[in-house]
Amino acid sequence: MPGSAVVHVIDDDEALRESLAFLLGTARLAVRTYESATAFLHALARAEPGCIITDVRMPGISGVELLRRLKSLEAPFPVIVITGHGDVPLAVEAMKLGAVDFLEKPFEDDALVAAVQSALGRHEHDARHAAEKAEIFERIASLSARERQVLDGLVAGNPNKTIAFDLGISPRTVEIYRANVMTKMKAKSLSELVRMALVGGLLSPASGSGN
C-alpha cells in the first residue's frame, strides 16, 4: 500500500469525524476530514490519492449524490459508505453507483479498518493498471502504420504468410516488421504481445486468437 495514500473522511458530525480520524491514525493511515461533500468536492482537484469514507445522509449533497458526481467526474476514489439504521436501501443505491463497501452503524473498529485497507488495495491495483495501460498506449502510438497493420494481424492469430498476403508484402518483410513490433512494444513473446493488445483495447476478451 503506497505511503502517500490518504483516507478522506466526509461527515457532518464533527465528533464522528474526529473519532474516525483517531481510529485510522492508530492504524497508521493518513487522514483528511471534511465537514461536507461540498467541502470535499471543492478540494477534489488537489486531493491526495486514496479512498473516501462518507456518511450516506448529510445536509446538502448526500453520500449518494456525491457518488454520482464522482462518477461523472471519473474521480478514481474507492468509496466506503457509512449508513444509519434503516438506510440499507440507500446503501444498495450507493453500491450500484460504484461504492466498494458500506458499513452500518454501529460498526466494529476492526471492520472499518479492514474495509479501508481493502479499498486502498483496490486503489493501488487500479492505479497500477492505469499506468500500465497508458504505457501500452504510448508504445502502440510509436508504431508506424505498417507496423500497426502487422500487429493487428499478429493479435488476430494470423501466421506471417497470411499477414504478408493480406498486406501485399513478402513474408520476409513481415518478419522484419514483426521484430520491430516486438521491440517497440517491449514484448518478449507473442503471448505477452496479445496480453498488451487486450490491455490496450486492440483485442476484446471474447475474440480469442487462432489460426
Output the domain CATH number for residue 12.
3.40.50.2300
DSSP state of 47: P
Q: Which helix (H) or strand (E) holds 73?
A: helix 63-73
Residue 69 located in a structural domain: yes
Tally the domains of the chain. Answer: 2
Looking at the fold, whether 13 and 67 belong to one and the same domain comes out as yes
Average pLDDT, rounded, for the chain = 86
| Last residue of one domain, picked from the residues 68, 99, 128 | 128
Determine the pLDDT at residue 84: 79
- Asked if residue 150 and residue 109 are part of one domain, the reply reads no
Best-predicted range by mean pLDDT (3-12, 36-45, 200-209): 36-45
In percent, the amount of the chain with pLDDT more than 70 equals 91
Do 113 and 149 have their domain in common?
A: no
Instruction: Give the model confidence (pLDDT) of 146-180 as tens digits.
Output: 999 999 998 888 999 999 999 999 999 999 999 99
Residues 10 and 109 in one domain: yes
Mapping DSSP to helix (H, G, I), strand (E, B) and coil, where does residue 125 land?
Answer: helix
208 occurs within a structural domain: no
- Tell me the C-alpha distance between 1 and 202, whole Å: 31
Q: Are residues 33 and 101 in the same domain?
A: yes
Is 186 a member of any domain? yes
Average pLDDT over residues 63-72: 92
Among candidate residues 106, 128, 150, the one where a domain is terminated = 128
CATH number at residue 164: 1.10.10.10
On whether the CB atoms of residues 157 and 211 are closer than 8 A, the answer is: yes
Residues 181 and 81 in one domain: no
Co-location of 52 and 109 in the same domain: yes
Q: State the pLDDT confidence band at 35, using cuts at 50, 70 and 90.
A: very high
Tens digit of each residue's pLDDT (9 = 90 or more) over 90-131: 888 888 888 888 888 888 899 899 999 888 887 677 767 777
Contacts of 146 (CB under 8 A, 6+ apart): 167, 177
- The continuous run of DSSP H or E covering 102 comes out as strand 101-104
Q: Which of 104, 128, 152 is the last residue of a domain?
A: 128
Position 79 scores a pLDDT of: 93
Question: Looking at residues 178-187, what average pLDDT do you find?
Answer: 93
Same structural domain, 123 and 146: no
User: Do 98 and 56 have their domain in common?
Assistant: yes
**Would you say residue 210 lies in a domain?**
no
pLDDT given for residue 164 in this prediction = 94
What is the mean pLDDT of the segment spanning 177-191?
A: 90
What are 176's three cell numbers? 522484419
* Of 113 and 86, more confident: 113
Same domain, 116 and 159: no
Please check whether residue 134 lies inside any domain of the structure.
no
Cis peptide before 76 (omega within 30 of 0): no
211 part of a folded domain: no
Is residue 179 domain-shared with residue 82, that is, in the same domain? no
Does one domain contain both 102 and 165?
no
Q: SS3 for 83?
A: strand
User: Is residue 61 in a domain?
Assistant: yes
Q: How far apart are CA 11 and CA 120, in angstroms?
A: 19
- Assess if residue 204 is contained within a domain: no
Q: Is the dihedral of CA 37, 42, 45, 49 positive or negative?
A: negative
Question: What residues make up the domain containing 180?
Answer: 142-199
